[in-house]
Copies of this chain bind each other. A is one copy, B any other.
Amino acid sequence: MSADVLALLRDALGERVDTRPASLHDARADKSGHAATGTPLAVVHAASVDDVQATLRIATATRTPVVTRGAGTGLAGGANAGGGEIALSVRDMTRILEVRADDLIAVVEPGILNGDLNAALAAQGLWWAPDPASRAISTVGGNIATGAGGLLCAKYGVVRDAVLGVDLVLADGRLLHLGHRSVKGVTGLDLTSLIIGSEGTLGVVVGATLKLRRAVPGEVRTLAATFPDVRTAAVASAAVTASGVQPAIMELMDAASLAAVHRLLQLPAPTPGAAQLTIQTDGPAAATEAEAIADVLRGVGGTVAVAADAAEGERLLTVRRSMHPAMETLGTSLIEDVSVPRSALPAMFDEIARVEREHGLAIPTVAHAGDGNLHPNFVFAGPDVPPEVWAAADDLFRAALRLGGTLTGEHGVGVLKRRWLVDELGEDQWELQRGIQRVFDPLGIMNPGKVFAP
C-alpha cells in the first residue's frame, strides 16, 4: 500500500517527492521538540497549487493522511508527520503575487516567511501586522494555520484581523477561493475565519489575500522596567492597560526567563528575583505616551529606563525574542499558551506560583502582558512529556479557565493541547466542531490525530 502511494506520488510529482531519511526525520517534529511516532511515507515539496491538488487527489484515492507543513516552527506538534502519512510541505511556495498599496492588500503564497514578506512590503511603506516572535523563521501559511498572534496584538490585532481571503485545496483536491478583496464582505458564511487557526484539519491553504497597514510614522520609544517580583510587574502591566495608553508592545519576563536568556546571550546576570516589562510605543505620540507609561510604572515601584534609540530598543526586544532559544538550551519544553482577560494577569501569576509550589516544578514564564497571553514553560529531559508535567499543566490550564481564560492564545492545539480541548469547548461544541471538520474532510485524511483527536 505504502509502495503504491509512493509510486503514484512519484509518477505525478517526480523530484518533488522526497524520501531521504533526513527529510523524513525532520518532518516528524517541530520547534516544540516533540516528534510524531513513526516516519512519514514522503515529504512532498509542492511548488504550485497544482502540486498540492495532485497530492491530495492521490491521498484521497488511497485514503492516505496528509500533514501540511510550512517551516516547522510550530509549538504544539500540529504539523508533525508520522507513520503512514504524507508530509506536504508548502515551504517552496514563496511568491508574492500582488501588492496593492492603494487597496492595502497583498496576495501571497503560503510558504513565504513572515519576515521576508514584511521586508518586501517595507520598501513600499506597508506592513502585515501579525508579529509572532518567530516571524523571522515562520511562514505566513503557518501563521494562518495556527491563527498566530505575537507581540503587537493588543494594538494591531491578530491574524484573524489581517486576512481577507484564502485559497484552499480540499481533501479531494478541489480548489476553493474563500473570502474577498474588499474591506467589507458578508456573502454567505465566513469560511476564511473558519480556516484561520484550523491547523491543517480542513484543507491546505495555498494562497492568501492579506489586509495590510501603512507603516506607522514616527520613531518608536522602548521602555525597560524592572520590578522586585513578577506579581508587581503583572500589576504594573494591568495598570498601564487601565491607564488608557495603548502601547504597541508590552512584554513581561519573569526572573527565571530573564536569567536563562541572559545566559544564552552572554549578558550580565539580572538581579535575582527581579522581573521585567519591555514596552514599546509608536506613532506620532510615541514620546509622550512613553513618558505617561513610565509614570505609571514608577507609581507601582518600577525602575524604568527609556530608550529613544531604535537600535537600543531592538536590543531590548531581542532579549524577549530569545526566550524560546533559551528554553531549548535547557531541555524539551511543554509551552503553555493560556490567555486570560488582561485584568486577570496578576491572578494568573499567583496561580503559576501556586502550581510551582504544589507540584515542585520551576515554570519560567513570559507573557504578552498587553493582551493577557502567557507562555509558562515546563522544561524536562527527553522527547516525551512526563506525567508530573502533564499534571501540573492540567492544573495551570484549569486555573486559566477559572479566570475566564482560554487554553491557547496563539500556538494552537496540535497534539500537545488536544487532551484539554473538550474541557474548554464542552462536549456539545466539540462534537459540533468535529461535525464541521467532517464536512470538509469526510474521509478523515487531513491531519488526523491533531486538534480533535480523542
Contacts and interface: CB of A to CB of B under 8 A. Distances in A.
Interface of A: 100-105, 125, 146-147, 149, 153-154, 157-158, 160-161, 170, 174, 176-178, 180-191, 193-194, 196-198, 202, 214, 238, 241-242, 244, 246, 284-285, 339-343, 368, 371-373, 404-413, 417, 421, 424-426, 428-430, 432-433, 435-437, 439-440, 451-452
Given A160-B193, A191-B432, A184 B426 contact: no
A3 B37 CA distance: 60
Contacts of A170: 428, 432
Contact of A187 (B158, B184, B408): B408
A237 to B, nearest CB: 11
Given A184-B372, A191-B433, 10 more contacts: A102-B241, A158-B184, A160-B193, A170-B432, A176-B426, A176-B429, A184-B371, A186-B408, A187-B407, A191-B432
B412 A189 contact: no
A425 B174 CA distance: 14
B343 A100 contact: yes
A421 B186 CA distance: 11
Nearest to A214: B244
Contacts of A147: 186, 190
A185 B341 contact: no
Contact of A284 (B181, B241, B284): B284
B188 A451 contact: yes
Nearest to A125: B244
B339 A146 contact: no
Contact of A189 (B104, B180, B340, B433): B433
Copies in the complex: 2
B373 A188 contact: no
21 contacts: A102-B343, A105-B341, A147-B186, A160-B190, A160-B193, A176-B429, A178-B429, A181-B404, A181-B406, A182-B373, A183-B339, A184-B406, A185-B339, A189-B433, A189-B436, A190-B194, A191-B433, A193-B193, A193-B196, A214-B246, A284-B285
B184 A339 contact: yes
Contacts of A435: 439
A369 B154 CA distance: 28
A432 B436 contact: no
B183 A342 contact: yes
- Pairs A-B, 8 closest by C-beta atoms: A193-B193, A184-B409, A183-B371, A147-B186, A182-B339, A435-B439, A185-B406, A103-B341
Nearest to A192: B193
Nearest to A158: B184
A159 to B, nearest CB: 9
Given A102-B343, A103-B341, A426-B176, A189 B182 contact: no
